[in-house]
Structure 1
Amino acid sequence: MSQNRKSADSLEDLYADTLHYHVNTGGETIHAKRMPGRFRNLKWLTMSTWLAFFIGPYLQWGDHQAILFDIPGRKFHLFGATIWPQDIWMLSLLLILLAITLFGVTAVAGRVFCGYFCFQTVWTDVFTWIEDKIEGNAIQRRRLDKAAWSADKIRKKTLKHSLWLLVSILTGITFAAYFTDAFELWNGYLTFSAPYIAWVVLALFIAGTYILAGFMREQVCFWLCPYARIQSVMVDKDSILPTYDYHRGEPRGKVKSKSSDAATKGDCIDCKMCVGVCPTGVDIREGLSEGCITCGLCIDACDSIMDKVGKPKGLIRYLSHKEMDGVTLPPVFKRPRVITYSTIFMLAVTGIIYGLATIPPVELSIVHSRQPLFMRMSDGSIQNKYTIKAVNKLETDQRVSLTVKSSSGDVHMVKEAYFKDITLKAGKMVPFSIFLQATPASLEHENTDVQLTIQGITQPDITVTYDSVFVGPKK
């Protein structure tokens, strides 16, 4: 018991870090204690993946950026693939894929995205890390906030906000760089020659990052993020979440020297350290809360306290409600919700892979004129007008020829020689009109199937066909 007394003495300093343990509704700033542990290490690891965000716009692939969302050019460059407006359905599949991944992970393990990958969570953690390094630990930061203004306080606050603004500026420029040439954008900003819209985007992103990550912090999770509101319909009793084992922890009580008193208490010593490290300030012991982002930092904190008082770890751990009640969980892939999400996920992946593998080098769109459907010429022949839009998705100009073939009848192009050699500019859409002509006697039906084919001259392997119809008078 002397060991417990020593441990209790060593915990006195820790209690001061957790004075503010109620859910914050915006009336105060939460200063969470930063503690080492396996979930903190995991959080640093997942946060480091955001380095790719800052590197992405500066990678080159051929003669363009590896990742470039060229809105004026109406195309997206994703490494070796170029996505055009005609292929936008793949973007829809990608959004479905990301949403289903989010839903599936939430159904299995709660708000893992919020805890480890969310832009707001990651940038807030970076901002509070800077704050911790400059202003000190949680106790020191609270004291500094309450202290009168002095030269030392002004120095620390100025340095902190300067670094916050620097991170916000880098974030804003990097975000804008995904939509234009990154190096030209930097040159534009540094020489104050960037276009007006570039300054607007930068200002909005700086303000958003600075305010949301620096000041609002957990309030975004509580009041602005819709995901916190709808998580209750995504999790169930099978979902594995950071959970307080009340069977083992209750009744709570401070560490006492008397063994008889200790025997009547649970393992929770009510130190509130789990609340003190929570970035949103919620009490995990009160059950699932919309403020819990399942980051697991409370588990690190509780395990460290259990080590100090000589009790087993795991008072707070990833656990499902069924496991808490002693029920064995079914295998993950036997759960109906997971099966549904997995099926949609695989269908979306298959669609995206198919789309990327079958993107045609030349996209052909042909619209038959409806006003009028056909024209009767002075020589008695029938003409139909077609508007053609040919998009060259390659990086080089392409010479192509256009031919027509009909299922029956003598359907041919007017001035056919003009279409034997057409140049499609690289990355451009070439619109033009053609007229198909036929004699009424050669038409067997009112509607005759026709097939228009673009055949590559520069690259003979390019062949694109389009099925349409030639309309004639009623038989």
Structure 2
Amino acid sequence: MSTNPVVTQTAVDDLYAEAEHWHVNTGGETIHAKRLAGRWRTIKWAAASVWLIYFLGPYLRWDGRQAVLFDIPNRQYHIFGATVLPQDFWMLSLLLLFFAILLAVATALVGRVWCGYFCFQTVWTDIYTWIEEKLEGSPPQRRKLDKSPMSLSKLRIKATKHALWLMIGFITGFSFVAWFTDAPTLWGSFFAGESGPVAYITVALFTVGTYGLAGFMREQTCFWLCPYARIQGVMLDKTTIVPTYDVARGEPRGRVKRGETGETRSGGDCVDCNQCVAVCPTGVDIRHGQQEGCITCALCIDACDQVMDKVGRPRGLIRYASLDEIEGLPTKKLLLRPRVWVYAAIMSVALAGILYGFSTLAAIDLKVLHERAPLYVRLSDGSIQNKYTLKILNKMPEELSVRISVTGPDGLELVGAEEPIVAPPGGVTPAVVFVKVPKRSLDGEQHPVRFHVEAARPSGDLVEADRDSVFIGPRS
């Protein structure tokens, strides 16, 4: 017996009827979105300011060097006081998992909040259009300028705009490269022509990419290039809070008639002013339901609230709400949703792993390999000798002079480590040592020993590490 739900023809017709109203700009027109001040516009700018870290972060200093530096040639990644080497890159997997789940849970709860407030494409496009408005004027003025014939005035305005766009693209690429080399040094070497070809190619690609994507493609990037726009639909459900038009309150829509007030209006609250469409950066009409182009930036809420204030109706005709709330159905509390607990558990495990990894990072690491053939050697004086290979990993940016010591059974003697071992920065230095123990100090086949390495940094700080191993002797 089939358990599939029966899809009625009426439901199909309703779906097609709604889809007919959806509008996706396929590149045939340039969207000049109207800019209005408001609560959500302020929040949007505040969220976008997070990207200042991207531009200013490389210039933060820590302990005489760049605070965050991804030194790929030397395979060292300095994050404030911690140095992460490729051996510790398991933490990167947990970090990527954490942010992937964070994106999923944010989408499930409040829709495409990443797209609307934090995505670099959205933020850069917003900055580009802000410059465009300052130079070319309001949307009608920009459309008029685009259609007007070329003149000295138009050429001056357009040249200034594109020069500023290219400058922002260049700064974007230059800031990216600055995370991978010393930022102050980069300023001198880059403009003196002394940087490597990778630096120049990277800056050029970022400049052209930012200029093209944020200046020309804009919402087309969100529609056709970004995979997130395709998969976000399966992350939403009827409990997801997104910008939503209250159909029951707004319909039937119609313009305000002469002498009509908010209290005497006979129709719905929507006055069909199209301000929600005018401010939308992707050009969709939120009144036709959730669409692929909606990035949940909530700018339509600001526009609608201002209109409601003017016509004397309460705010919230367009508001953040779930589909269940709009339909008058009971809404589940946040903590009662199973997916929230599942997401929270995965994120907690990933975050705990990252914190554990950083808390256990050491400036120097030690591994001890016991020689297995033979396990021990009996010397002419009757003492027992074991051979070990020590692998010393120096995570510091400078060369270290490492001293080796060992503790264990009484009378233990370390041979082969009388002089310090020179450990280059970011590399593994092997050292072969021997440990001798008098036979009388051995009362079993295996005895614990602990190897200890330490070195003094040029700053005077002492770095050290320990590793446990075993000393093997003959059976009693």
**Same fold by TM-score greater than 0.5:** yes
Q: Which amino acid aligns with 1:311?
A: R
Change (3 A) 1:308 1:88: same
SS of residue matched to 1:267: coil
| Deviation per residue, 1:356-411 (Å, 9 max, x gap) | 22212211245678xx965999999999976543112245654434456789xx9x
- In the alignment, is the contact (CA less than 8 A) between 1:57 and 1:68 conserved in 2? yes
Change (3 A) 1:378 1:240: closer
Percent of counterpart pairs with the same letter? 50
In 1: Cα distance, 2:463 partner to 2:303 partner: 63
- In the alignment, is the contact (CA less than 8 A) between 1:390 and 1:424 conserved in 2? no
- In the alignment, is the contact (CA less than 8 A) between 1:398 and 1:426 conserved in 2? yes
Instruction: Say yes or no: does 1:423 pair with 2:425.
Output: no
Structure 1 window deviating more from structure 2 (269-278 vs 293-302): it is 269-278
In 2: Cα distance, 1:242 partner to 1:382 partner: 77
Q: Which amino acid aligns with 1:252?
A: R
Q: Which amino acid aligns with 2:402?
A: V
Unaligned runs of 5+ in 1: 1-19
Matching residue within 453, 456, 460 for 2:454: 456
Q: CA deviation at 1:470?
A: 8.6
Q: Which amino acid aligns with 2:96?
A: L
Instruction: Say yes or no: does 1:340 pair with 2:338.
Output: no
User: Who is 2:5 aligned against?
Assistant: none
Q: How does 1:426-437 map to 2 (within 5 A)?
A: 427-434=425-432
Change (3 A) 1:461 1:131: closer
User: Who is 1:49 aligned against?
Assistant: 50
User: Who is 1:242 aligned against?
Assistant: 243
Change (3 A) 1:252 1:457: closer
| Deviation per residue, 1:15-42 (Å, 9 max, x gap) | xxxxx99321111211111111111111
Q: CA deviation at 1:256?
A: 2.8
Matching residue within 281, 284, 296 for 2:283: 281
Instruction: Say yes or no: does 1:218 pair with 2:216.
Output: no
In 2: Cα distance, 1:368 partner to 1:205 partner: 51
- In the alignment, is the contact (CA less than 8 A) between 2:363 and 2:464 conserved in 1? no
Matching residue within 297, 300, 309 for 2:299: 297
In 1: Cα distance, 2:469 partner to 2:406 partner: 10
| Deviation per residue, 1:110-147 (Å, 9 max, x gap) | 11111111111100000000011111111111111122
Q: CA deviation at 1:269?
A: 2.0
User: Who is 1:100 aligned against?
Assistant: 101
User: Who is 1:271 aligned against?
Assistant: 273
User: Who is 1:89 aligned against?
Assistant: 90
| Deviation per residue, 1:447-475 (Å, 9 max, x gap) | x78756133264997553445689999xx
- In the alignment, is the contact (CA less than 8 A) between 2:392 and 2:429 conserved in 1? yes
- In the alignment, is the contact (CA less than 8 A) between 2:387 and 2:435 conserved in 1? no
Change (3 A) 1:308 1:362: same
User: Who is 1:9 aligned against?
Assistant: none
| Deviation per residue, 1:389-436 (Å, 9 max, x gap) | 3112245654434456789xx9x99xx532233334463324225276
Q: CA deviation at 1:175?
A: 0.9
SS of residue matched to 1:317: strand
Q: How does 1:49-448 map to 2 (within 5 A)?
A: 49-257=50-258, 265-366=267-368, 388-394=390-396, 397-402=399-404, 416-425=414-423, 427-434=425-432
In 1: Cα distance, 2:448 partner to 2:205 partner: 53
Q: Which amino acid aligns with 2:415?
A: A
- In the alignment, is the contact (CA less than 8 A) between 2:238 and 2:324 conserved in 1? yes
Q: Which amino acid aligns with 1:294?
A: T
User: Who is 2:10 aligned against?
Assistant: none
| Deviation per residue, 1:237-265 (Å, 9 max, x gap) | 111100011111122222234869x8553
- In the alignment, is the contact (CA less than 8 A) between 1:299 and 1:314 conserved in 2? yes
In 2: Cα distance, 1:203 partner to 1:233 partner: 37
- In the alignment, is the contact (CA less than 8 A) between 2:102 and 2:347 conserved in 1? yes
Q: Which amino acid aligns with 1:330?
A: K
User: Who is 1:29 aligned against?
Assistant: 30
SS of residue matched to 2:73: coil
Q: Which amino acid aligns with 2:343?
A: Y
| Deviation per residue, 1:139-174 (Å, 9 max, x gap) | 111111122212221111101000001111111111
SS of residue matched to 2:69: strand
- In the alignment, is the contact (CA less than 8 A) between 1:389 and 1:429 conserved in 2? no
Measured on the aligned residues, the alpha-carbon RMSD in Å equals 3.4
- In the alignment, is the contact (CA less than 8 A) between 1:35 and 1:301 conserved in 2? yes
Structure 1 window deviating more from structure 2 (50-59 vs 416-425): it is 416-425
SS of residue matched to 1:49: helix
- In the alignment, is the contact (CA less than 8 A) between 2:387 and 2:432 conserved in 1? yes
In 1: Cα distance, 2:370 partner to 2:217 partner: 56
- In the alignment, is the contact (CA less than 8 A) between 1:274 and 1:302 conserved in 2? yes
Change (3 A) 1:21 1:150: farther
- In the alignment, is the contact (CA less than 8 A) between 1:47 and 1:122 conserved in 2? yes
- In the alignment, is the contact (CA less than 8 A) between 1:385 and 1:433 conserved in 2? no
In 1: Cα distance, 2:155 partner to 2:103 partner: 43
- In the alignment, is the contact (CA less than 8 A) between 2:375 and 2:472 conserved in 1? no
Q: CA deviation at 1:81?
A: 2.1
Q: CA deviation at 1:49?
A: 2.1
Change (3 A) 1:275 1:177: same
- In the alignment, is the contact (CA less than 8 A) between 2:366 and 2:392 conserved in 1? yes
Change (3 A) 1:297 1:233: same
SS of residue matched to 1:464: strand
SS of residue matched to 2:164: helix
SS of residue matched to 2:83: strand
Q: Which amino acid aligns with 2:178?
A: A
In 2: Cα distance, 1:344 partner to 1:42 partner: 29
- In the alignment, is the contact (CA less than 8 A) between 1:361 and 1:392 conserved in 2? yes
Change (3 A) 1:281 1:471: farther
In 2: Cα distance, 1:125 partner to 1:360 partner: 43
Change (3 A) 1:46 1:438: same
Q: CA deviation at 1:322?
A: 1.1
Q: CA deviation at 1:80?
A: 2.2
Q: Which amino acid aligns with 2:318?
A: I
